[in-house]
Amino acid sequence: MSVYHRNNVKVTGGTGQTMLFAHGFGCDQEMWRFVAPAFEAGHKVVLFDLTGAGKSDLGAYDFDHYAQLDAHAEDILRICDELELRDVVLVGHSVSAITSVLAANARPDLFAKLVLLAPSPCFLEDNGYHGGFKREDLEGLVAFMDENYLGWSAQVAAMAAGQDIDGPASVELTRSFCRTDPAIAQHFGRVTFLSDRRADMQKLTRPALIVQCSDDTLAPTEVGRWLHDNIGPSTLEILEVTGHSPHLTAPAETIDAIRRFIDHAPA
Amino acid sequence: MRSGALSTMPQPEQGDAGNLDSFAVELLQDAPCGILVTDPDGGLVLANRTLAHWLRRSDAELASPVRIKDLLTMPGRIFFDTHVAPMLRLQGHVREIACQFERRDAPPLHVLLNGVMRTAPDGTPTRVDYTIFDATERALYEASLREARSGAEQLAAIVTASPDAILRVGASGIVQRWNRGAEAMFGLGATEASGRRVEELVRLEGSEGWFAAHRRDALPIKRFEAVDAEGRDLAVMISVIGDAEDPGADWSIVLRDVTERARAERRLQLVNGELNHRVKNTLSVVSGIARQTLSSEDSLALGQRLQALARAHEVLTGAQWDSVALRELVQITAEEAGGPERFSFDGPDLELSPQHATTLSMALHELTTNALKYGALSCDGGVVTVAWRLEPGDAPRLHLSWRESGGPVVVPPTRKGFGTKMINRVLAAEFSAEVRFDFAPDGVCCEIGFPYG
C-alpha cells in the first residue's frame, strides 16, 4: 500500500532541502499548521499522520506490530524510501522525536539533522532520572482515555460551549482533530508512555536540536538536559513556553529555533 | 413587565447599568455550573463561586499562578497537554471532555469540561472560557456501563473462541446463534445454519427428535451422550435460557466432541476385563503350584487364602474397582462360615475403597478360618456375630466387632499365627487400624477400628 494513502502524506513547498514533520501522541499533522508553512519557501515540506492517527489508514494499525515504537520509525523510513527523500531534516514532536532518533539510528544516511520538540525517551522516574511520572500515573491515563472515548461517542449531540460553533462545519472539525479509534488511541498511549528508549538516544550520530518548553509536565527540562548530555552532537534550546506543544503555543519562537539550527549548525 | 416571581429578580433594562452588573455577577458566581477563565496558557484568571465551592478551595487558591491543569488529576493533566490544549489552538474549542478535578479532603470530582478560546481581532488568543458540569452521576453510570460491556465482551469472546459447538436455539429448535466451534464441528457457516432446525443440522443416531423430546421434559439442564451421523461421540448439554416453564424460552446447546475419550474408555474396559481374567487365572495357577510344593495342610490353608483373595477381587471387578459395599464382603464371609445359622451380621450400608475392601476381606477370612479350626465354628452350636457402626465426627471411624460364642472354652494362644499377625500388621499398616483381640474363655472377640472416608 502506498504511504500516501496509508499515512496521508502531504507534500508542499519547493525543491530545497526536505523537512519531514512527525506529529506526536494525541493529534495529527494539523499540529504543524502554524510552523510548517514557514519553511515552504526554501524547503520541500512533507507532513504525514502516524499510522493509527488522523486520516491514516486505521486498518493498517496492527496492534502487535505497533507495540514497539520501532514500527513507527519503520514508517518514517518507508516514507523516505517511497518519496526518495535524502538529506532530510526530520522534525519530531514528543513521542515522534523518539521514533525520529530510532529512524536516524537505523538509516543515518537518510538524515542530515534532527529537530526534537519536547522529547522524552522515558516518562518514568527511575533512579536519578527524572521522567516525571510514577507508573500508576501512567496506567491511570489509559483508564482515563477509556472514560473519555465513551463520553465522546455522544459527541455529535453535544451542547454548545460558546457561540457559532454548532454548524455542521464545526461538528466536522470536532470529529477530525485529535481523535481516532479509541482502541488504537489507548494502545498507542500505552506504548508511548510506558516505553523506555534512553539507550537508543546515546547511539544517535546525526546532529540534533533539542527544543524543550520551560513549563512542560510531560517533558520536564531535566529530561532535555539529560538528552543534551547523552546525545553527542546536540544543541539544547529551552523556550519560555507553557505546555507540551511549542509549535502551537509559540510557533514564532519554534520556527526561529529550528531556522537557527538548520541554517547555521554544521551538518 | 410580567408579574410573579420574575418581578422580584433584577431585570436587565436599558440605562440601568448597576442592576445589569449585579445580575451578571450573580449569574456568573452562582451559575449552576463551574465557570473558569484562563489566559491562553492555562493560568487561572477567574473562577466562579460554584466551582470554588465544588473544589472546596478559596479564591486565592483559584488564581494565578495556578493553572487549570494543576487542578486536574494526573491522567487529566497528561490528557490536557496532549489533547485539550492542541484542540483549543487548532479548532478553538473543546467539548464534553470527561475529567476529574482534585478536591481538598474529598475524592476527585468527575466533570465534563467545555472550553472556548477567545481571540483578538488579529487572531491572537486572549483567553479561554470554560464551563464545567458536575458529572458524578454520569461517571457512575458510565463506570457500570463499561463494566457490563467489558464483562459481556469477555463472555462473548469465550463463547466465540470455544472449540465446543455452542448454539442458541428458539423454542421450536430453530438455530439463532452458531459459534465458530459449531462451524468447525459441522462444517457449516453461521449464516447458513441460522434459521434451520437444529435436529436437521446435528443428527444424533437413534434419536431424530432429540431436541423436541428434551424440550417436552422442560428440565432446566439435561446432559447425555450420543453418536452423530459422522460417527463421532458427542457430549450434549441442553439448558434453558431463562425460565424452563416458559414455553417460548430459548435454549442453549453445547456439543463437545468426546470421540477420543469414548474410544479410550472402551479400550480401558477391554483391558480391564482381560486383566481381571488373568488375575483369576494366575491365582488358580499359584494354588496349583502350592498344592504340588507344600504339605497338604499348608497348601490347603494357602489355597483357601488365595480363594478368599480371588473372591474379594471378583467383588471388586464387579464393582468396576470403584467401591464395594461392606455388607457384600461380610456376606461372602458368612457363606464361608456356614451360612446364617452360624453367622449373623448387622450394620449400616457403608462403602469401602478397593484397598480397604481387599485387606478387610482377607482379615475376615483369617478370623473365619481360625473360628472353623479352633473357635466357635469348630463345634455344633457355636456362632459368630459381626456388627459394625460408623462413629461420626470430623474424622469418622468405622468400628467392626467379631464375637464368637457357644464354642469350646478359649485358651489364649501361646504364639501368634499367621492370621493374627496378618490382621494386626496389614490392617494397622495399610489403614492405621486399631485391632484388639480378647481371648475371653466363652469366645474370641476381635474389635477393628479405622478411619473412614
Contact between A144 and B92 using a beta-carbon 8 Å cutoff: no
Catalytic residue among A28, A216, A245, A247: A216
Backbone angles phi, psi at B36, to 5 degrees: -140, 135
Residue A104's region, left for phi above 0, alpha for psi from -120 to 50, else beta, is: alpha
Instruction: Tell me which DSSP letter residue B60 carries.
Output: G
Catalytic residue among A56, A94, A96, A195: A94
What are A252's three cell numbers? 514564532
The verdict on whether A94 is a catalytic residue reads yes
Whole-number pLDDT of residue B20: 78
Q: How many residues can be counted in chain A?
A: 267
pLDDT in tens, A117-128: 999 999 988 888
- How far, in Å, CA of A186 to CA of B271, rounded? 58
Of A22-26, A174-178, B182-186, least confident by mean pLDDT is A174-178
pTM of the model: 0.60
- How far, in Å, CA of A191 to CA of A52, rounded? 13
| Nearest residue of chain A to residue B112 (CA atoms) | A151
Contact between B86 and A177 using a beta-carbon 8 Å cutoff: yes
**Checking DSSP bridges between strand B351-352 and strand B397-405, what pairing results, if any?**
unpaired
Amino acid at site B219: L
Does the pLDDT at position A18 exceed 50? Answer: yes
* Strand ranges inside A17-150, DSSP E: 18-22, 44-48, 88-93, 111-117, 125-126, 129-130
Q: Cα–Cα distances in Å, from B209 out to B192, B206, B237, B257, B422? A: 21, 9, 15, 20, 60
Does the pLDDT at position A160 exceed 50? Answer: no
57-76 of B, contacting A, C-beta below 8 A: 67, 69, 73-76
- How far, in Å, CA of B315 to CA of A61, rounded? 67
Considering only CB atoms, A144 lies closest to which of B79, B87, B90, namely: B79
Contact between A31 and B90 using a beta-carbon 8 Å cutoff: yes
> Chain A contacts of B74, Cβ < 8 Å?
133, 137, 140-141
76-115 of B, contacting A, C-beta below 8 A: 76-79, 81-83, 85-87, 89-99, 112, 114-115
Residue among B366, B428, B377 nearest B405 (CA): B377
Task: Give me the sheet containing B397-405, strands edge to edge.
Answer: B343-346, B383-391, B397-405, B443-451, B434-440
DSSP assignment of B150-180, as one string?
Answer: HHHHHHHHHHHH-SSEEEEE-TT-BEEEE-H
Higher pLDDT, A125 or A138: A125
Whole-number pLDDT of residue A100: 97
Whole-number pLDDT of residue A168: 40
Whole-number pLDDT of residue B3: 38
Q: How far is A150 from chain B (nearest CA, A)?
A: 8
Contact between A140 and B69 using a beta-carbon 8 Å cutoff: no
What are A31's three cell numbers? 499540529
Residue pair B235/B222 in contact (Cβ under 8 Å)? The answer is no
Of A9-18, A151-160, B176-185, B221-230, least confident by mean pLDDT is A151-160
Angle, vertex CA B142, rays to CA A162 and CA A173, nearest 5 = 35
* Residue-by-residue pLDDT tens, chain B, 453 positions: 333 333 344 444 555 666 778 899 999 999 999 999 999 989 999 999 999 999 999 888 888 889 999 999 888 888 888 888 998 998 889 888 888 899 988 899 999 999 999 999 998 999 999 999 998 888 888 778 878 888 888 899 899 889 999 999 998 899 999 999 999 999 999 999 999 999 999 999 887 888 888 777 767 788 889 999 889 999 999 998 888 778 888 999 999 999 999 999 889 888 888 888 888 888 888 888 888 888 888 888 788 888 888 888 888 777 777 788 899 889 888 888 888 889 999 999 999 888 888 888 888 888 998 898 888 999 888 999 999 999 888 889 999 999 999 988 888 776 666 667 778 877 877 778 888 888 888 899 999 998 887
pLDDT band at A246 (very low <50, low <70, confident <90, very high): very high
Instruction: Tell me which DSSP letter residue B378 carries.
Output: G
Alpha-helix residue ranges (DSSP H) falling in B177-325:
180-186, 190-193, 198-201, 210-217, 259-293, 296-318
Contact between A245 and B85 using a beta-carbon 8 Å cutoff: yes
Average pLDDT over residues A42-47: 95
**Checking DSSP bridges between strand B383-391 and strand B343-346, what pairing results, if any?**
parallel
Whole-number pLDDT of residue A250: 92
The verdict on whether A5 is a catalytic residue reads no
pLDDT in tens, A195-244: 999 999 999 999 999 999 998 888 999 999 999 999 988 999 999 988 89
Whole-number pLDDT of residue B295: 84
Residue B40 sits at the chain A interface (C-beta within 8 Å): yes
Q: How far is B181 from chain A (nearest CA, A)?
A: 25
Whole-number pLDDT of residue A10: 96
In our burial notation (b when 16+ CB lie closer than 10 A, e otherwise), range B231-270 reads eebbbbebebeeebeeeeeebbbbbbbbeeebeeeeeeee
The verdict on whether A130 is a catalytic residue reads no
Spell out the residues 6+ positions from residue A213 whose beta carbon is closer than 8 angstroms to its own.
A118, A219, A221, A238, A239, A241, A242, A243, A244, A246
- How far, in Å, CA of B182 to CA of B160, rounded? 10
Which ipTM did the prediction report?
A: 0.84
Whole-number pLDDT of residue A174: 46
Q: How far is A237 from chain B (nearest CA, A)?
A: 20
- How far, in Å, CA of A176 to CA of A21, rounded? 19
300-329 of B, contacting A, C-beta below 8 A: none
Q: How far is B130 from chain A (nearest CA, A)?
A: 8
Whole-number pLDDT of residue A147: 64
Whole-number pLDDT of residue B15: 53
134-173 of B, contacting A, C-beta below 8 A: 139, 142, 145-146
Spell out the residues 6+ positions from residue B40 whose beta carbon is closer than 8 angstroms to its own.
A249, B117, B125, B126, B127, B128
Contact between B81 and A161 using a beta-carbon 8 Å cutoff: no
Q: Where is A138: in which H helix or E strand?
A: helix A135-152
Catalytic residue among A28, A244, A245, A247: A244
pLDDT in tens, A95-119: 999 999 999 999 999 999 999 999 9
Average pLDDT over residues A47-71: 94
- How far, in Å, CA of A108 to CA of B53, rounded? 57
- How far, in Å, CA of B89 to CA of A264, rounded? 30
